[in-house]
Amino acid sequence: MEDFSEEKGKDEKVERMRVCFISHTSGKGGAERALLELIDALKERCVKCYVVLPAHGPLVEELDKRGITYCILPFKWWMSKKSLKQEQMVKAVLNLITVIPLALRIEQWKCDVVYTNSITVCVGALAAKLLRLPHVWHIHEFGYEDFGLVFDLGLKDSLWLINNYSSICIANSYAVAQKYKRYINPAKLRVVYQSVSVPEDVLVGKSVGIMSDRKKCVIVGALHEGKRQEDAIRAIGELVQRGMEVELYVVGAGDMQYQRYLYDLVTKSGLEGYVKFTGYTENPFQFMLMADVVLMCSRYEAFGRVTVEAMKLGKPVIGARSGGTVELIRDGFNGLLYTPGDYKELAEKIGYLLEHSDIARQLGENALQWATKRFTKDQFGEEILAILEEVRKSKQK
């Protein structure tokens, strides 16, 4: 049974305001890493941060390092790939039960704003409504298009709740905002690009140290059908058939069914010696550092943290022409784009960069300069702080 009262950490800074963040998981995915960078930026601006998580996990260790007070409450997602009505009812009841201790904890912390860091959970909005506090909903995902998730309560009713139970809704890209603008009051909907930091020790040039004369492509991300690692594998197959000495590193873990599909694809294509599966790693940068080209094949990427990380390493990126990726890659300036699913076009683009190292190098340099200026912790912190102050002042009127 989870400990409802667990708290860790102390922070004695002079306070500008207090914010309670609701994290949908205790892992260290893209949304959680964005949350950590936001907390770091807000702490520097004298904002007292608290976090509520659904379970123990790697995120807890990161909060401990930062001295952030947190608690564990067993709330559930109100989105799923496919669940029975009975399961949906059980989750709804558990969430309603959790709202009371959550509201009590927020009240105990004397928070000024409640901030939900994903569209996949709703308990923060309900607790804020109960306490009559402003609520910010940060949307990091499309939902269905990228992860195959649908709302247990249905799209229309869920988006009505999101619109009416939030002071501001933040989208992490214009592509995500475009999807939800039909349901959310335009005056409430903002687009804020998150910061993306690369650890300093990575920038000194440490790599995984794989010895091979072949050109290397790397794709980083959870193994999931929406991430389209199969495009990368098929493209490498095309290049190998042409006699090009190239190999692909697939970095990540995830859906076991899709993982087996990828393994079978490699075997049937005779690519066992050309495609390497690394599994999950805490440090994907070591693989990106050795890459000649980094690939982003997601069919619908809400933002594209890996794309920006690769850019900050000075690597040329080839991405799918869809979702948030087209907001990051300016075709021919800081990377190249291909049509999602068209692995032959992807193969052409990879081959072109591998055969024209000077162009690849220029794309990487452009990407480094552009991303370094655009995706900073200071800018992220200032934009979010302005929103937090706005919603707090509007509530005081």
380 and 353 share one domain: no
Q: Tell me the pLDDT band of 201, cut-offs 50, 70 and 90.
A: confident
**Does residue 2 lie within any of the structural domains?**
no
Does the structure show a pLDDT above 80 at 205? no
181 and 310 share one domain: no
**Does residue 46 lie within any of the structural domains?**
yes
Q: Give phi and psi for 160, each to the nearest 5.
A: -60, -45
Does the structure show a pLDDT above 50 at 275? yes
Sheet holding 246-251, edge to edge: 275-279, 246-251, 215-220, 293-296, 317-320, 336-338
Q: Tell me the pLDDT band of 8, cut-offs 50, 70 and 90.
A: very low
Which 3 state secondary structure label does DSSP give 3?
coil
Q: Is residue 45 classed exposed, middle or buried when 0-12, 13-18 and 19+ CB atoms within 10 A define those classes?
A: middle
**Does residue 6 lie within any of the structural domains?**
no
CA distances from 168 to 29, 103, 115, 185, 387 (A): 23, 20, 10, 9, 8
Computed over every residue of the chain, the mean pLDDT equals: 92
137 and 100 share one domain: yes
CATH code at position 128: 3.40.50.2000
pLDDT at 203 (0 to 100): 60
Domain that holds residue 319: 202-374
pLDDT at 190 (0 to 100): 97
**Does residue 12 lie within any of the structural domains?**
no
Pairing of strands 150-151, 113-116: unpaired
Does the structure show a pLDDT above 50 at 15? yes
More confident residue, 307 or 9: 307
Q: Tell me the pLDDT band of 107, cut-offs 50, 70 and 90.
A: very high
**Does residue 267 lie within any of the structural domains?**
yes
49 and 128 share one domain: yes
Count of the separate structural domains present in the chain: 2
More confident residue, 198 or 275: 275
pLDDT at 47 (0 to 100): 97
Q: Tell me the pLDDT band of 395, cut-offs 50, 70 and 90.
A: confident
* Alpha carbon 33 to chain centroid, angstroms: 7
21 and 120 share one domain: yes
392 and 348 share one domain: no
DSSP H or E stretch at residue 99? helix 85-109
Q: Tell me the pLDDT band of 76, cut-offs 50, 70 and 90.
A: very high
62 and 123 share one domain: yes
300 and 337 share one domain: yes
DSSP assignment of 186-213, as one string? TTTEEE-PPP----TTGGGT-------S
pLDDT at 7 (0 to 100): 46
- Which range among 35-44, 118-127, 200-209, 236-245 shows the weakest confidence by mean pLDDT? 200-209
**Does residue 7 lie within any of the structural domains?**
no
pLDDT at 82 (0 to 100): 79
pLDDT at 86 (0 to 100): 85
Q: How many Cβ atoms from other residues are within 10 Å of residue 253's Cβ?
A: 14
183 and 271 share one domain: no
**Does residue 3 lie within any of the structural domains?**
no
What's the average model confidence in pLDDT over 322-331?
97
Write down the number of H helices and E strands in the chain.
15, 15
Q: Tell me the pLDDT band of 13, cut-offs 50, 70 and 90.
A: low
**Does residue 8 lie within any of the structural domains?**
no
Does the structure show a pLDDT above 90 at 1? no
355 and 392 share one domain: no
What's the average model confidence in pLDDT over 94-115?
97
Alpha helices in 225-376 (DSSP H): 229-241, 256-268, 285-290, 305-312, 325-328, 343-355, 357-374
Does the structure show a pLDDT above 70 at 12? no
Does the structure show a pLDDT above 90 at 326? yes
What's the average model confidence in pLDDT over 298-308?
95
Structural contact between residues 149 and 143, judged by C-beta atoms closer than 8 angstroms: yes
239 and 278 share one domain: yes
Model confidence pLDDT, tens digit, residues 110-167 = 999 999 999 999 999 999 999 999 999 999 999 999 999 999 999 999 999 999 999 9
Does the structure show a pLDDT above 80 at 75? yes
* pTM attached to this predicted model: 0.90
189 and 243 share one domain: no
> Helix crossing, 305-312 with 357-374: angle to 10°?
110
d(CA 162, CA 184): 8
What's the average model confidence in pLDDT over 212-230?
93
